[in-house]
Amino acid sequence: MKKGWQDGLKQRVSEALLLWDTPSLEKYSMDYHHFSPVLLDRLKGKHGECIASPRTSNELEAIISVAAEYEVPLTVRGNGTGNYGQCVPLTGGIVLNLAKMDRILEIGDGFMRVEAGARMGKMEAEARAAEQELMMIPSTYQTATIGGFLAGGFGGIGSITWGTIWDGFVHSLTIKTVEENPRTFVVQGDEIIPYLHTYGTVGIISEIQIALVPKVPWSQWIVSFPSWEASAEFALEIAEDESFTKRLVSCHEAFNSRFCKPLQIPEGRSFLLLELDEHHEEAFAQRVAERQGVIESKKAADKYHVGLGLSDFSWNHTTLWALKYNPDVTYLQLNYEKSDFIEKTRIIKEEFPEFCIHFEFAKMNGSLLVSGIPVIFYKGEDRLNQLMARCEEIGVSVANPHTSDLEEGGRSYVHERLWGLKKTNDPLSLLNQQKLAIPS
């Protein structure tokens, strides 16, 4: 960083957009990386030196220009709902908070155009008011921004039908480069891929056009079984059955009911959380009875997105509830083959009894994905590494959520292309420094 950047920023940018006080620096330099005790320790004390919150494209460009002129690191964030320290600045500088660029610009037939800081809860509400809905939403959708979700997310509620952020969710992205005279350009098609789940390391997403799909009347179900195996088998059956239109298939072993207390599930019962088209209620209830399951509760479609919903206990919200129950837990992110995920989970649980089952079912590239987000009672980093190594050894892939390094985290699908793109869009390598390792 060159000296005088703070004065340069104050001269070019309204003071109303800048925060310098310690509480603000700490608040806006954090996300939910405390889900990982490893990251909590490694990222301790890391924060920016200024929080800049543009409201318009011109204000954003002014901040970028000053950062480039003075070679000040820039870490882009939305509302900080990520879990991997994506928006924690490792080298100080400016935290670029895009949460105030939050306008919904246009809603059309099958699409919505928004600024990067638009909240997904508002987007979902506006889409449903227009008889449409988002293809997928994270469990944090009420506060998550769309830009943050695309830069650090993967999938969520809706992925069981529509896939992940790579599966047609995004129509186009507007990107700004980090230069004294920032360039703005639009990417579509395969050119979108390098900007998805790359932590804002290769360009600044300022505007997004996403796909919308027809609105569905979603009813919410809790179904229980006497064993986690029976619960998992039924979850797989429903996930694969195309006759049921669904938005959520989330599977949990009985222990998880202890920290999902608002769901009031009887002790000792493993359970599924489901969102299904209300038109399939009769057929679904019959299927549950045939498999000796128990319907613990059902919420009608007119109560969807009213108060606490089942999706508030799914995906990474499961981990959040577990942490409220016991602060000494953490989690993993695993991907199984559907053919043997039960067998491999048995192996893991036998060797690592601290492993508590949580499966989410999704599609990716049209194929069913069994994603494990188990709650883990933390017994130290060495034990956690042993668990991850054992998973890989038996053919369960791990996307390590205990690292802030993009490649180690395992979610960028075009990693070899990123540094070439970064040199073009971020020639001074100012964006989210130390998250994208320099290639050897």
Per-residue pLDDT tens over the stretch 319-334 = 999 999 999 999 999 9
pLDDT value of position 408:
80
What is the rounded CA–CA span in Å between residue 174 and residue 367?
A: 29
Contact 210, 114 (CB under 8 A): yes
Q: Any idea which residue has 């490792």 for tokens? A: 90
The tokens of 343 are what?
């067998």
3 state SS of 313: helix
Q: Any idea which residue has 């019959």 for tokens? A: 286
Q: Any idea which residue has 């608040």 for tokens? A: 27
- Does position 226 have pLDDT exceeding 80, yes or no? yes
- Does position 273 have pLDDT exceeding 80, yes or no? yes
DSSP-derived letter for residue 285 is H
- Does position 440 have pLDDT exceeding 70, yes or no? no
- Does position 412 have pLDDT exceeding 80, yes or no? no
Contact 205, 116 (CB under 8 A): yes
What is the rounded CA–CA span in Å between residue 162 and residue 160?
A: 6
Q: What percent of the chain has pLDDT over 90?
A: 95
Bridge-based pairing of strands 170-176 and 204-214 is: antiparallel
DSSP-derived letter for residue 438 is P
Residue ranges and CATH numbers for the domains of the chain are: 5-97 (3.30.43.10), 104-214 (3.30.465.10), 218-398 (3.40.462.10)
Report how far apart, in Å, the C-alpha atoms of 92 and of each of 24, 41, 88 are.
14, 17, 9
Give backbone dihedrals phi and psi of 309, rounded to 5 degrees, phi first: -110, 170
What number of CA atoms fall less than 13 Å from residue 135's CA on the CB side? 25
The tokens of 358 are what?
């949580």
- Does position 313 have pLDDT exceeding 80, yes or no? yes
Q: Could you tell me the strand order of the sheet in which 397-398 lies? A: 294-299, 218-225, 270-277, 246-252, 358-364, 367-372, 334-336, 397-398
Please report which confidence band the pLDDT of residue 392 belongs to, taking 50, 70 and 90 as the band edges. very high
pLDDT value of position 47:
96
Q: How far is CA 420 from the centre of its chain?
A: 26
- Does position 411 have pLDDT exceeding 80, yes or no? no
- Does position 413 have pLDDT exceeding 90, yes or no? no
β-bridge partners, 107: 112
pTM given for the model: 0.95
Number of Cβ within a 10 Å radius of residue 311: 25
Bridge-based pairing of strands 50-52 and 94-97 is: parallel
- Does position 417 have pLDDT exceeding 90, yes or no? no
pLDDT value of position 410:
67
Written as one string, the DSSP assignment of 396-427 is -EE--TT---HHHHT--TTHHHHHHHHHHH-T
Report how far apart, in Å, the C-alpha atoms of 192 and of each of 73, 168, 196, 328, 366 are.
24, 10, 7, 38, 19
Mean pLDDT of 363-374: 95
pLDDT value of position 276:
98
Contact 86, 147 (CB under 8 A): no
Please report which confidence band the pLDDT of residue 437 belongs to, taking 50, 70 and 90 as the band edges. confident
Residue of 436, 438, 432 lying closest to 31 (CA atoms)? 432
Written as one string, the DSSP assignment of 261-283 is GGG-PPTT-EEEEEEEEGGGHHH
Q: How far is CA 124 from the centre of its chain?
A: 16
Please report which confidence band the pLDDT of residue 198 belongs to, taking 50, 70 and 90 as the band edges. very high
